[in-house]
Amino acid sequence: MTDQTSRRSFLKMGAAGASMLPLLRALPASAQGSDTLVVVTGATINSLDLHRTGTSRASYQVGINCYDRLLTFGTKEVPGNGLSYDYTVVEPELAESWTESDDGLTLTFKLKSNATFWDGRKVTAADVKWSFDRAVSVGGFPTVQMKAGGLERPEQFVAVDDETFVIKLDRPSKLTIPDLAVPVPYIINSAEAVANATEDDPWALEYLHTTPAGSGAYKVARWNPGEQLVYERNDDWVGGPLPATKRVVIREVPSPATRRALIERGDVQVAFNIPDKDAAELADTLDVFSTPVENCIHCLCPNFSFEPFQDPDVRKAIAYAVPYEDIFQAAAFGRGLPLWGGSEEITDIAWPRKTQYFTDLDKAKEHMANSAYADGFDVPLSISLDLASWMEPTALLVQEALGKIGINVTIEKIPGANWRTAVLVEKRLPLHLENFGGWLNTPDYYFFWAYKDGHLFNSSNYRNEEIEALVDATLHMPMDDPEYAPQIQRMFEIALDELPRIPLYQPALNVATNGAEGYEFWFHRQLDVRVLSAV
C-alpha cells in the first residue's frame, strides 16, 4: 500500500462526522458500483435549455452532455495536469465530414447516417436547420454567441437533403468553425419541439426548459431543481466513444465544507469547481486538477456611469493601489496565473497578459492628487455570494487598500440568484468584481464580449470608438493577416490605459476526484461527464 493510498483510506474512515449521514444516504456512491458516478457541485442548475433567457452557467452542462453539435474540439494532455480540450483541433460529432468553398463563404456538412434522437427518429438536416434558426432567433446570449461566428439569420442555413446541411456566410471568418463546437449550437429533435410549441412560444422554450429532446450521449432521467440532476446513458449514441458510465448523478451541495468532506471520504467520486483553498490543501491526498482558464480574467471593474470613475487618474490610482500579490495568495492560494507587473510595451498578442500595473501606493496617491477627487469619495464594492470564495477575500483587501488613498469602500454582498441581472444585464454596480472567460480563444473575441458598448460582459458601461472599430475589424480577420497583430496590440494599449477592467489574475478551474478517472478540462468551465469512468 502506498503512502497516498494510506492517507486516502484514513480520510475515508474519518472526516465528516455524524451530521453528514442524511446526505450520505442520498448519495450512496460507493454502494452503486462502477455503473454510477456521483458528482458534487456548489452551482445551481436552473434550466435544461441553454437557449432560455436567465439560464445559469451551471446549466450549460446539459447542452454538452445531452445534445450533439456538428463539431467538437480534440483532446490534448497537459503535463502534470491531466487532459484538456484542444482549441487547435476540430473533430466531427454529429457531422461525418465537412467541406469549405474556396471563397470561405459556404460550409457543407454531411451528417452521420446512423444518428438518431432518443425517441428513435433519424437526425436530419432539417433538425439542424431548425435548431440553428432557433439559436439565432431567441435573442440574448445564444444569439450573440452565434453572431460572433458569423451565424446571424435563418436564411443562412439550408437543409439540402436529410444528410446535407449548408451554411452560407456573409464573410469568411476564423471563428465560424470553432463556434460550431461551443455549447450553444446544439441539435434539437425539432419534431418533438414543434409538437410542444405554442403560438406564444414557437421555439418550445417552456417545454425544453424541463424536457430535453436530443441525440446526445446522456438523457436526463430525473431533475430535482436545487437538489440533483441524474443522467442516464444513451446506448445508441454515435457522436463519439460510448461513455463507460451508465449513470451520473450531479448533486448540488451549497456548502464547500460538505463537498470537501464527501470527496475526502470517497462518498462521491468528483467534486467539481472546488475553492482554491480546498484545491491547495487536498492536492497531497487526492487527484486535484487545477487548470488555468484560457481567455479568462478575474478583474475589478469601475463602472463609467459612476462619475468619479470617469476620471482616468482615479482609475489609475486604483490600479496602483490594488494589492495584487496579497489577493493572489488569499483568494487564489497561488493557483492560476498572475496578471500584474508586466511591461508597458506590447510586442505580441498574448491574452490574458500581465499589465504594466503593480502595487505602488505612492503612485496611487499621486494619481488621486491629480484627479478631480483628491479628497476621496465613497463607493460600494459589490460581490456575489455564490462566488464568495474568491470575491470576499479580494474585496476585503481592495477595501483596505483603497482606504489608504481616500476611497471609502463598503462591501455589498448580492445573492447569487440576483448577481447576473445586477452586474451584466442592468450594469448598475459602481464598483464590482467580475469574471469572464471567452469560449473562442482569441483576444478579439474576448474584447467583443467584454469591451464593446452594450455587450453582455461589458459591465463597466465602457465605450471607446477606436475599440469599437478595432473589434469589428479583427473579429473575423485571419490571425495570420499582417494587419491583425498591430490592431490587436492597439486594442491592448487602449484598454490597459483606460482601465474599464483592472485585471487581477487568471483563475484556475479546480476539480478533485476520488475513484474516477478521465476528467477533461473545457473552456466552458462545465463538466463533460461523457469521458468519466470509475476506478
pLDDT digits (tens, 9 = 90+) for 433-488: 999 999 999 999 999 999 999 998 999 999 999 999 999 999 999 999 999 999 99
> Does residue 130 share a domain with residue 45?
no
Range of the domain at 119: 87-203
CB count within 10 Å of CB 181 equals 23
> Does residue 476 share a domain with residue 372?
yes
Domain final residue, candidates 203, 233, 261: 203
- Which pLDDT score is estimated for 10? 29
> Does residue 359 share a domain with residue 498?
yes
Q: Nearest-CA neighbor of 416 among 38, 23, 40, 45?
A: 45
* 164-176 confidence digits (pLDDT tens): 999 999 999 999 9
Total number of domains constituting the chain:
3
Domain final residue, candidates 203, 228, 255: 203
Record the cell numbers describing residue 303, joined without a space.
463602472
Sign of CA dihedral 367, 368, 373, 374: negative
Q: What CATH number did the domain enclosing 255 receive?
A: 3.40.190.10
Cα separation, 400 vs 232, whole angstroms: 50
Alpha helix segments (H runs only) across 51-105 = 60-66
Is 78 within the bounds of a domain?
no
**DSSP notation for 218-231:** EEEEEEETTTEEEE
> Does residue 409 share a domain with residue 309?
yes
> Does residue 520 share a domain with residue 499?
no
Is 451 within the bounds of a domain?
yes
Alpha helix segments (H runs only) across 103-185 = 125-137, 140-148, 176-179
Strand-pair category, 36-41 with 247-252 = parallel
Is 456 within the bounds of a domain?
yes
Residue burial 143-170, b: 16+ Cβ < 10 Å; e: rest = bbbbbbbbbeeeebbbbeeebebbbebe
> Does residue 514 share a domain with residue 502?
no
- Which pLDDT score is estimated for 502? 98
- Which pLDDT score is estimated for 420? 85
- Which pLDDT score is estimated for 30? 40
- Which pLDDT score is estimated for 26? 40
Helix or strand run (H / E) with residue 37: strand 36-41
* 398-425 confidence digits (pLDDT tens): 999 999 999 999 999 999 878 988 999 8
pTM for this predicted structure: 0.87
Is 472 within the bounds of a domain?
yes
Q: State the pLDDT confidence band at 14, using cuts at 50, 70 and 90.
A: very low
Q: Which parts of 216-364 are beta strand (E)?
A: 218-224, 228-233, 247-252, 270-272, 287-292, 296-302, 337-338
Q: State the pLDDT confidence band at 80, using cuts at 50, 70 and 90.
A: confident
Quick check: 6 pLDDT over 80?
A: no
Is 61 within the bounds of a domain?
yes
- Which pLDDT score is estimated for 287? 95
* 228-273 confidence digits (pLDDT tens): 999 999 999 999 999 999 999 999 998 999 999 999 999 999 999 9
> Does residue 512 share a domain with residue 373?
no
Q: What CATH number did the domain enclosing 139 receive?
A: 3.90.76.10
Record the cell numbers describing residue 262, joined without a space.
464527501
Q: Nearest-CA neighbor of 109 among 122, 120, 119, 124?
A: 124
The residue whose grid cell reads 446526445 is 216
* 349-381 confidence digits (pLDDT tens): 999 999 999 999 999 999 999 999 999 999 999
Record the cell numbers describing residue 39, joined without a space.
458528482
Is 75 within the bounds of a domain?
no
